[in-house]
Structure 1
Amino acid sequence: MIYLVEPFGGSIRRQSPHTPHVFWDDAGLTRGDGIFETVLVRGGEAKNLQKHLARFARSAAALELPEPVGEQWARVTAEAVADYCRERAQDPAKIEAKCVWTMTRGRETTGVPTAWLTVRPIPADVLAQREQGVKVVTTPRGYTVEPDVEWLGAEAKTLNYAATMAALRWARGKGADDVIYIERGTERVLEGSTSSVIMVKKGQRLRTPAPGPGILAGTTQAAVFDYATKQGWKCKEKDIALGELYGTESVWLVSSTRICARVTELNGKTLPAPDNEAEIRELITKALN
């Protein structure tokens, strides 16, 4: 399901998936110059919508793209999700999918940004990771994100994912499913390749690396902390050293479509399932619902 979106709050229209809709000179293709946001679709609706709209707007501001019109993106999302459910002739309550918003700087020849939305099934391997967990290896990013380098756009969720895909290929070559980035020299935990890291400690405590240079603020992590705090959990954003992950109750990678996957192995060392694994899964799932 594809919808084209005029980026200044204009019209929206459905596009055939068999018809080209991005030109050869679009900066999203030639330079990876653009932003995106992935939203979980469950029960016939987009989940955690306001947090995604807020981050999409922050990403656009960081790259000096037009500010996304929140009402427009909410409307086209609802319309596309309804079409997706209707065409599958299933009960919307039983349908799960991912909705991806994309905005690029547009064509060199026009300078007008390009924007579109897709709704697609969640890949089978992602669904499996929810239940089976993930084997993870750690690695530095290969570059340092310095807080005073304002042009880098580290706080934006950009289309420039070549390094991320290379890191995932490297991890899979080592028999792992994913990576957790760490800071070179200090071994401070940053984030997963496409996820936030949550550490569960005894005494109903949740910890996650504080957003900042090299750590994108996670919408799923924020929703989990909001909900867990109301349930009496003590949640904190703080620096986490790699060594802490080996001795804590459990470690989770959370993101919009994967929702949650427990880290079962870290750098070749097995992380045993905690007694409260089912409780943590339920906590994260309810946070998104």
Structure 2
Amino acid sequence: MSESSLLPPAPVIYLVEPFGGSVRRQNPNMPHVFWDDAAVTRGDGIFETVLVRGGEAKNLDKHLDRFARSARLMGLPEPVREQWARATREAVADYCGERGGDAGDVEARCVWTFTRGRETTGVPTAWLTVRPIADEVLDQREHGVAAVTTPRGYSIDPDVPWLGVGAKTLNYALTMAALRWAKEQGADDVIYVEPDTGRVLEGATSSVLMVKKGGRLRTPAPGPGVLAGTTQAAIFEHAERLGWKCKAKNIYVGELFKAESVWLVSSTRIATRVKRLDGTKLAAPDNEAEIRQLIADAVA
């Protein structure tokens, strides 16, 4: 086996002109972010992660909606929807074509990035990448995760107008620190909670989904500390068509231990069942296969 065959597939990178201009493919071995870009110096920008499956980007309209909302909240130029959709289609087609075989068998993650740009020019920087989904993510889909609850360590005040509550920003340093801490505790992920009330917020990079008896699905209501989830929204829309009772409302930690099952859902991990929470084993539900099929159909 050659050394090159051991390397992960090269990503497909497209540069996107921020005001609706051209899109063009970028050599992954060539730099395209400058030393004074706000993404590098301040983590100042927004992003979206989109599942690629069956040769197409899934849930595209919901991601475009949230991308635009994030841009408005962060004072960035409005992303041109058709431009980002076209760039995504072209990049996905390139990626699938270069993998060989049937595009329907290819699964990947497409990440859009939009930054404040260079300090010296003030022009925003934008690009997208398509690359494989990490083996760890695929393993968590199948085998579930152990999670620990923790406060964020800071509060988000909805009355402070400049905070950009609801934007999906590049500033993920604290999120990565929380995940490192979870692994030190022997867990895979965290679920953020309010320290005084025990109100459930969200996972580090996911929405919390709780399944209750009687065909009920619950998720924490979006707001300060809870980003509206595109995958969670798709699941609720599909489940409601099938007669499930879906509601976004306040959930408290104690309810998670009494639920039929608890899931963390996100674009590329799709769904992973929480098998252990704060060291307590959560029983496998009788309807796990049904829930997995429900979620699979929703993202399809």
In the superposition, the TM-score normalised over structure 2's length comes to: 0.96
Q: Which residue of 2 aligns with 1:203?
A: 214
Q: Which residue of 1 aligns with 2:237?
A: 226
2:182 equivalent to 1:189: no
For residues 260 and 113 of structure 1, what CA distance do their matches in structure 2 show? 33
Residue type of the alignment partner of 2:209: I
Q: Which residue of 2 aligns with 1:97?
A: 108
> Following TM superposition, by how much is the alpha carbon of 1:154 offset from its aligned partner in structure 2, in angstroms?
2.4
SS in 1 for 2:51: strand
SS in 1 for 2:186: coil
> Following TM superposition, by how much is the alpha carbon of 1:90 offset from its aligned partner in structure 2, in angstroms?
2.0
1:267 to 270, 273, 278: 278
> Following TM superposition, by how much is the alpha carbon of 1:10 offset from its aligned partner in structure 2, in angstroms?
0.3
For residues 213 and 87 of structure 1, what CA distance do their matches in structure 2 show? 42
For residues 8 and 285 of structure 1, what CA distance do their matches in structure 2 show? 35
2:16 equivalent to 1:18: no
2:165 to 149, 154, 168: 154
Q: Which residue of 2 aligns with 1:254?
A: 265
Q: Which residue of 1 aligns with 2:289?
A: 278
Q: Which residue of 1 aligns with 2:256?
A: 245
SS in 2 for 1:215: coil
For residues 118 and 223 of structure 2, what CA distance do their matches in structure 1 show? 31
2:149 equivalent to 1:138: yes
SS in 2 for 1:207: strand
Residues 13-52 of structure 1 deviation map (CA, whole Å, 9 limit, x = unaligned): 0000000000000000000000000000000000000000
For residues 111 and 155 of structure 1, what CA distance do their matches in structure 2 show? 24
Q: Which runs of 5+ in 1 are unaligned?
A: none
Q: Which residue of 2 aligns with 1:39?
A: 50
Q: Which residue of 2 aligns with 1:170?
A: 181
For residues 107 and 124 of structure 2, what CA distance do their matches in structure 1 show? 30
Moved more, 148-157 or 226-235: 148-157
Q: Which residue of 2 aligns with 1:126?
A: 137
Taking only aligned residues, the RMSD between alpha carbons, in angstroms, comes to 0.4
Residue type of the alignment partner of 2:295: I
Residue type of the alignment partner of 2:228: A
> Following TM superposition, by how much is the alpha carbon of 1:184 offset from its aligned partner in structure 2, in angstroms?
1.4
2:76 to 65, 85, 91: 65
SS in 1 for 2:210: strand
SS in 2 for 1:81: helix
Q: Which runs of 5+ in 2 are unaligned?
A: 1-11
Residue type of the alignment partner of 2:180: R
For residues 240 and 101 of structure 2, what CA distance do their matches in structure 1 show? 35
> Following TM superposition, by how much is the alpha carbon of 1:150 offset from its aligned partner in structure 2, in angstroms?
1.6
Residues 143-185 of structure 1 deviation map (CA, whole Å, 9 limit, x = unaligned): 0111101211121000000000000000000000000000110
- Of all paired residues, the percent bearing the same amino acid is 74
Aligned residues: 289
For residues 227 and 234 of structure 1, what CA distance do their matches in structure 2 show? 11
